[in-house]
């Protein structure tokens, strides 16, 4: 068992190294930050000197090894654009992204599940067909279009909700939350809907498919035969049976939502990690990009490794097969 | 329509009420965030323009872009290399410390430190010596006429504050350390920094102890970057922001139609032009026909500048035959005549030079300049109609600027505003001069004209203003006669304000000066 765990961890470390390596390969093609950092009046000598001080003139291998050595010690350097320690920068942005993603996930369950049930039990009725059709919009409209539409309707025309930003935030330890203030809660509504639009459709269609399956099963037929009220059959017995895959998918999709948040955050000027990353890309802010990619891949690798190990604990056959 | 308008206005009012603002808060939505609160940390005109609300220089530009005294009240040239500045008395920093010559010395030392990215803004500085509390001598590396222009953007820190906060040296990216001055500020300007949350907001409040007479009636400025253009427009329409210095040109008609928003459009100092590789070979090693002046002239005759002005810039640019704007000293009216649009002439020039079907690529970025992508796309067929075989090489700015500065382009596009110097010496020394020593950093075409260099070198040490400008005009004439650059236009700049803002000063340097802005009572 110990051998297996060690092997898994070594595997994870290898993946991280490869991710860092690929990230570094990409950085060679995104351009040169130095010209964006100095003034038009700077001389060539000044530019070259700054490049040398940043270590950008070093060969690829040297830059990579230096990065990995520092990163292992938790030092990702300083952002070229914000001149702030990269880890602090990401830690500051992380709460904003996570709150947005959680709000979107909850929203997608709260809307997607009832809609899924309705379209399943009223299959063939005009409104459930209409809902089905409408849900296609959710998947096929790009989220930035939905975001702009929401802004146009709710901010410009109706003036109900703010078009940008996160409102007032409250600091709880190192975590900054916008959920405790009126303006913060108002600010999260539109971005959360925009981000959830895709997820809502996904949940709705999954619930519908599962429900149709379950409604055909024997225990539902028996329940009907016993004269159990329809509502109880649908919502207590049938729905419960199809929630497992929905919950699993929602949990797994948190990662995807963090990735999708990139676009939503840019449109709404939501000060999260996605906005940070996008702006780092346009500025060739290598330390921020490197740290972001490593962090995100770390989250995925850590989860996967954990799951692998847990599986192995549960199922000894896996252990034998891989060990 | 009228119903919609009423709703719109009601919406705007509601937002104003909800956020509970006093009438004197200016909510400023920027096209991007400032990089830092430290003016010396970053070579960005945008950041400097914002920080000018907090920090001031020894001199500044007035409403006609002429230099006027600010923290210095007077100056005299002691000898060719030494300037004596008399400093204003009774000025205090935001933390209450009095302003003295030591502060100037500390600031000049900091900005010219080897790790300062802003060092190039004060190229001639050698040293400074405090004479007394309100007098300081600045020694230069040689005779240099543009010291005052350079000093307009060298913001003055408080010496003791720098020492107390361990920020005497500028932020060093290489060392990977943060600086106190990145998040905190202590200047002498009309506003003091209250709060900075990068990417979210930067808040300034009025500084009552400002030495100058305040013409504004603002008590607080809330600056929020809104990078998405559509969102910025929406925020303006819904009245969530009062002002932006970056109104997207394509949305101006819509802003104009809105009852509560006024777009402010004028032409920028930034002149956009094409430049040619003048090496023996193109970037891919093929022989380069642009070394022949007739081919460069043909390029000029092939362009339809009026069409670009009308269709792409929607009539808001200023077609230019000169590589500097009329406000820039050195500009001359007779140099501001673009070559006639004449594809036939272009074709015959090409034939004469034996370069018909000459194939090359134009290197452009997506949006370094207003409508850059559209301009570059439009130019290609214009050129090809005249017998060139041009193709477009377009990509993100960080990549394209690398190609250009490595001299790996055939034709490049560049915009030059001559900021912060506001003098044609800027473009002449940085773009037109041969690449040698500190000059010609943006000479991306590797040209070298000894005659032109001689004119620029002579101007660089000429202390008499009129003689110097004469030399520079002559240099600009040389550029034009030899078709080294092919100017397009001065690009438009568009600001927009809601009807809460009653007065705002807009100059060609595209810098907001909110110490002149008034909010409607």
pLDDT exceeds 50 at position A70: yes
**For position B9, what pLDDT does the model report?**
36
**For position B420, what pLDDT does the model report?**
84
CA distance linking residue B521 with residue B466, whole number of Å = 45
Chain A, nearest residue to B398 by Cα: A31
**For position B58, what pLDDT does the model report?**
96
Number of domains comprising chain A: 2
CA distance linking residue B188 with residue B87, whole number of Å = 13
Contact criterion met (CB below 8 Å) for B67 and B509? no
**For position A123, what pLDDT does the model report?**
82
Q: Is B237 on the interface with A (CB under 8 A)?
A: yes
pLDDT exceeds 60 at position B3: no
Chain A, nearest residue to B41 by Cα: A83
The β-bridge relationship of strands B191-197 and B359-365 is unpaired
A13 occurs within a structural domain? yes
- pLDDT, greater one: B281 or A45: B281
How large a percentage of chain A has pLDDT more than 90? 11
Contact criterion met (CB below 8 Å) for B54 and B185? yes
| Same-domain status, A124 and A264 | yes
Residues in A 227-266 with any Cβ partner in B closer than 8 A:
266
Range with the lowest mean pLDDT among A282-286, B240-244, B251-255?
Answer: A282-286
pLDDT exceeds 60 at position B14: no
- pLDDT, greater one: B295 or A212: B295
**For position B90, what pLDDT does the model report?**
94
pLDDT exceeds 50 at position B5: no
| Same-domain status, A260 and A302 | no
**Confidence label for B19 from pLDDT (cuts 50, 70 and 90):** very low
Kindly report the average pLDDT of chain B as a whole number: 90
pLDDT exceeds 80 at position A41: no
Chain B, nearest residue to A79 by Cα: B173
Residue in B117, B173, B225 nearest the CB of A269: B225
A186 occurs within a structural domain? yes
pLDDT exceeds 50 at position B7: no
Query: Residues of B with CB below 8 A from A45's CB?
Result: 438
Tens of pLDDT, residue by residue over A158-170, are 989 998 888 888 8
- pLDDT, greater one: B183 or B468: B468
Query: Residues of A with CB below 8 A from B231's CB?
Result: 148, 151, 163-164, 267-269
| Same-domain status, A76 and A156 | no
Binary contact (B182, A84; C-beta < 8 A):
yes
pLDDT exceeds 60 at position B156: yes
**For position A234, what pLDDT does the model report?**
83
CATH of residue A119's domain is 1.10.3720.10
| Same-domain status, A104 and A53 | no
A146 occurs within a structural domain? yes
For testing the chain B interface, which of A26, A42, A287 should be mutated: the one with the most B CBs within 10 Å?
A42
- pLDDT, greater one: B148 or A31: B148
| Same-domain status, A143 and A277 | yes
Task: Provide ipTM, 2 decimals.
Answer: 0.78
Q: Give the count of Cβ contacts less than 8 A between chain A and B.
A: 192
The 3-class SS string of B409-464 reads CCEEEEEECCCCCCCCHHHHHHHHCCCECCECCCCCCCCCCHHHHHHHHHHHCCCC
Mean pLDDT on B62-77: 94
- pLDDT, greater one: A67 or B481: B481
**For position B173, what pLDDT does the model report?**
64
Cβ-Cβ contacts under 8 Å for A130 (sequence gap 6 or more): none
Buried b (16+ CB within 10 A) or exposed e, B336-361: bebbebbbebbbbbbeebebbebebb
Of A175, A153, A170, A190, give the one whose Cα is nearest residue A270: A190
> How would you class B412 by CB atoms within 10 Å of its CB: exposed for 0-12, middle for 13-18, buried for 19 or more?
buried
Give the dihedral of Cα atoms A315, A316, A318, A322; nearest 10 deg. Answer: 150
Q: Give the other-Cβ count within 10 Å of A171's Cβ.
A: 9
| Same-domain status, A156 and A290 | no
Mean pLDDT on A185-214: 90
| Same-domain status, A180 and A102 | yes
Round the CA-based radius of gyration of chain B to a whole number and report it.
24
Mean pLDDT on A177-198: 89
What residues form DSSP beta bridges with B361?
Answer: B391
Query: Residues of B with CB below 8 A from A42's CB?
Result: 43, 117, 119-120, 441
Q: Is B81 on the interface with A (CB under 8 A)?
A: no
Q: Give the other-Cβ count within 10 Å of B9's Cβ.
A: 16
Binary contact (A83, B8; C-beta < 8 A):
no
Chain A, nearest residue to B3 by Cα: A157
The β-bridge relationship of strands B411-416 and B135-140 is unpaired
Residues in B 25-44 with any Cβ partner in A closer than 8 A:
29, 33, 35-36, 38, 41-44
Kindly report the average pLDDT of chain A as a whole number: 83
**For position B12, what pLDDT does the model report?**
37
- pLDDT, greater one: A236 or B202: B202
A46 occurs within a structural domain? yes
Task: Enter the DSSP assignment of B217.
Answer: -
pLDDT exceeds 70 at position B13: no
| Same-domain status, A75 and A192 | no
Residue in B174, B228, B402 nearest the CB of A269: B228
Binary contact (B120, A46; C-beta < 8 A):
yes
Binary contact (B12, A159; C-beta < 8 A):
yes
| Same-domain status, A137 and A249 | yes
Mean pLDDT on A32-39: 73
Binary contact (B398, A282; C-beta < 8 A):
yes
Mean pLDDT on A193-207: 89
Tens of pLDDT, residue by residue over B434-458, are 988 778 888 999 999 999 999 999 9
**For position B1, what pLDDT does the model report?**
33
Å between B442 CA and nearest CA of chain A: 9
Mean pLDDT on A202-215: 88
- pLDDT, greater one: B1 or B105: B105
Residue in A77, A165, A266 nearest the CB of B176: A77
Tens of pLDDT, residue by residue over B312-359, are 998 999 999 999 999 999 999 999 999 999 999 999 999 999 999 999
Q: Is B490 on the interface with A (CB under 8 A)?
A: no
The β-bridge relationship of strands B389-395 and B411-416 is unpaired
Mean pLDDT on B220-236: 92
Binary contact (A165, B419; C-beta < 8 A):
no
| Same-domain status, A314 and A262 | no
Q: Is A218 on the interface with B (CB under 8 A)?
A: no
Q: Is A56 on the interface with B (CB under 8 A)?
A: no
Print the domain residue range for A59: 1-81+284-323
pLDDT exceeds 90 at position B91: yes
Range with the lowest mean pLDDT among A184-193, A305-314, B323-332?
Answer: A305-314
Binary contact (A32, B182; C-beta < 8 A):
no
Round the CA-based radius of gyration of chain A to a whole number and report it.
25
CA distance linking residue A1 with residue B485, whole number of Å = 72
| Same-domain status, A166 and A274 | yes
Å between B345 CA and nearest CA of chain A: 36
**Confidence label for A172 from pLDDT (cuts 50, 70 and 90):** confident
A322 occurs within a structural domain? yes
How large a percentage of chain B has pLDDT more than 70? 94
**Confidence label for B402 from pLDDT (cuts 50, 70 and 90):** confident
pLDDT exceeds 60 at position A322: no
A220 occurs within a structural domain? no
Q: Is B337 on the interface with A (CB under 8 A)?
A: no
Binary contact (B227, A276; C-beta < 8 A):
no
Q: Is A271 on the interface with B (CB under 8 A)?
A: yes
Query: Residues of B with CB below 8 A from A55's CB?
Result: 174
| Same-domain status, A202 and A112 | yes
The 3-class SS string of A269-282 reads CCCCHHHHHHHHHH
Please report where in the chains the tokens 């022949």 appear, as a residue.
B292
For testing the chain B interface, which of A163, A265, A279 should be mutated: the one with the most B CBs within 10 Å?
A163
Tens of pLDDT, residue by residue over A225-262, are 888 888 888 887 888 878 777 877 777 777 778 877 88
CA distance linking residue A129 with residue A184, whole number of Å = 36
Whether the bond between B420 and the residue before it is cis, its omega within 30 degrees of 0, is yes
Q: Is B319 on the interface with A (CB under 8 A)?
A: no
Q: Give the other-Cβ count within 10 Å of A212's Cβ.
A: 16
A68 occurs within a structural domain? yes
Å between A11 CA and nearest CA of chain B: 31
Of B196, B211, B203, give the one whose Cα is nearest residue B94: B211
Tens of pLDDT, residue by residue over A98-117, are 899 999 999 999 998 889 88
Binary contact (A83, B182; C-beta < 8 A):
yes
A316 occurs within a structural domain? yes
């Amino acid at each position: 068992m110990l051998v297996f765990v060690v092997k898994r961890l070594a595997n994870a470390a290898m993946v991280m190294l490869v991710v860092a390596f690929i990230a570094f390969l990409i950085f060679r093609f995104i351009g040169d930050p130095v010209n964006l950092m100095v003034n038009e009046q700077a001389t060539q000598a000044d530019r070259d000197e700054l490049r040398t001080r940043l270590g950008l003139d070093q060969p690829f291998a040297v830059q990579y090894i230096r990065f990995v050595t520092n990163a292992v010690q938790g030092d990702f350097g300083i952002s070229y654009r914000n001149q702030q320690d990269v880890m602090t920068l990401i830690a500051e942005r992380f709460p904003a992204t996570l709150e947005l993603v959680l709000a979107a996930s909850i929203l997608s369950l709260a809307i997607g599940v009832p809609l899924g049930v309705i379209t399943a039990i009223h299959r063939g009725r005009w409104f459930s067909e209409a809902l089905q059709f409408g849900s296609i919009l959710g998947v096929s409209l790009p989220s930035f279009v939905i975001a702009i539409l929401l802004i146009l309707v709710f901010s410009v025309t109706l003036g109900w909700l703010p078009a940008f930003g996160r409102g007032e935030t409250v600091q709880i330890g190192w975590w900054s939350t916008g959920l405790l203030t009126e303006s913060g809660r108002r600010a999260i509504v539109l971005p959360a809907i925009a981000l959830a639009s895709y997820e809502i459709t996904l949940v709705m269609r999954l619930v519908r498919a599962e429900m149709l399956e379950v409604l055909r099963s024997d225990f539902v037929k028996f329940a009907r035969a016993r004269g159990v009220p329809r509502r109880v059959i649908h919502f207590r017995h049938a729905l419960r049976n199809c929630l497992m895959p929905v919950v699993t998918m929602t949990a797994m999709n948190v990662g995807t939502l963090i990735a999708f948040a990139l676009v939503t955050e840019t449109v709404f000027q939501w000060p999260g990690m996605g906005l940070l990353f996008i702006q780092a890309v346009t500025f060739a802010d290598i330390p921020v990009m490197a740290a972001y990619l490593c962090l995100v891949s770390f989250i995925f690798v850590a989860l996967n490794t954990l799951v692998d190990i847990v599986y192995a604990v549960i199922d000894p056959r896996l252990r034998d097969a891989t060990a | 329509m009228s119903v919609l308008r009423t709703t719109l206005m009601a919406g705007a009012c509601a937002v104003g009420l909800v956020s509970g603002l006093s009438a004197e808060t200016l909510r400023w939505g920027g096209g991007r965030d400032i990089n830092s609160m430290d003016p010396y940390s970053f070579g960005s005109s945008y950041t400097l323009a914002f920080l000018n609300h907090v920090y001031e220089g020894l001199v500044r530009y007035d409403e006609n872009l002429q230099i006027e005294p600010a923290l210095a009240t007077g100056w005299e040239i002691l000898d060719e290399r030494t300037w004596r500045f008399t400093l204003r008395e009774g000025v205090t920093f935001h933390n209450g410390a009095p302003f003295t010559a030591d502060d100037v010395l500390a600031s000049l030392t900091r900005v010219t430190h080897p790790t300062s990215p802003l060092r190039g803004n004060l190229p001639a500085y050698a040293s400074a010596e405090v004479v007394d509390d309100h007098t300081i001598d600045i020694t230069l590396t040689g005779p240099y006429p543009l010291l005052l222009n350079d000093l307009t953007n060298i913001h003055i820190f408080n010496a003791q504050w720098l020492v107390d906060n361990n920020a005497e040296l500028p932020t060093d990216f290489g060392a990977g350390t943060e600086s106190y001055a990145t998040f905190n500020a202590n200047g002498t300007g009309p506003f003091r920094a209250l709060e900075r949350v990068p990417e979210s907001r930067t808040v300034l409040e009025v500084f009552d102890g400002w030495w100058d007479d305040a013409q504004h009636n603002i008590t607080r400025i809330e600056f929020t970057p809104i990078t998405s253009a559509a969102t910025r427009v929406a925020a303006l329409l819904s009245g969530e922001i009062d002002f932006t210095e970056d109104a997207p040109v394509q949305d101006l008609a819509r802003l104009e139609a809105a009852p509560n928003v006024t777009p402010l459009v004028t032409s920028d100092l930034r002149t956009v032009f094409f430049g040619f590789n003048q090496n023996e070979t193109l970037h891919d090693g093929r022989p380069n026909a642009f070394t022949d002046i007739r081919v460069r002239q043909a390029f000029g005759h092939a362009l339809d500048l009026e069409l670009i002005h009308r269709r792409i810039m929607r009539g808001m640019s200023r077609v230019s035959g000169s590589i500097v704007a009329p406000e820039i000293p050195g500009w001359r009216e007779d140099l501001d005549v673009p070559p006639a649009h004449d594809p036939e002439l272009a074709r015959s020039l090409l034939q004469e030079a034996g370069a018909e079907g000459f194939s090359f690529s134009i290197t452009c970025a997506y949006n370094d300049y207003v409508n850059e992508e559209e301009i570059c796309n439009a130019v290609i067929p214009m050129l090809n109609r005249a017998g060139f075989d041009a193709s477009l090489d377009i990509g993100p700015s960080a990549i394209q600027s690398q190609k250009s500065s490595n001299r790996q382009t055939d034709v490049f596009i560049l915009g030059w505003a001559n900021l912060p110097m506001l003098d044609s010496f800027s473009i002449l020394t940085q773009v037109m001069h041969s690449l040698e020593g500190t000059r010609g950093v943006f000479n991306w075409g590797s040209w070298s004209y000894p005659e032109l260099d001689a004119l620029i070198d002579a101007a660089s040490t000429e202390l008499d203003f009129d003689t110097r400008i004469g030399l520079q005009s002559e240099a600009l004439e040389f550029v034009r006669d030899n078709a080294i650059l092919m100017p397009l236009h001065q690009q438009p700049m568009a600001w927009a304000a809601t009807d809460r803002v009653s007065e705002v000063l807009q100059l060609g340097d595209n810098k907001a000066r909110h110490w002149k802005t008034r909010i409607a009572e």
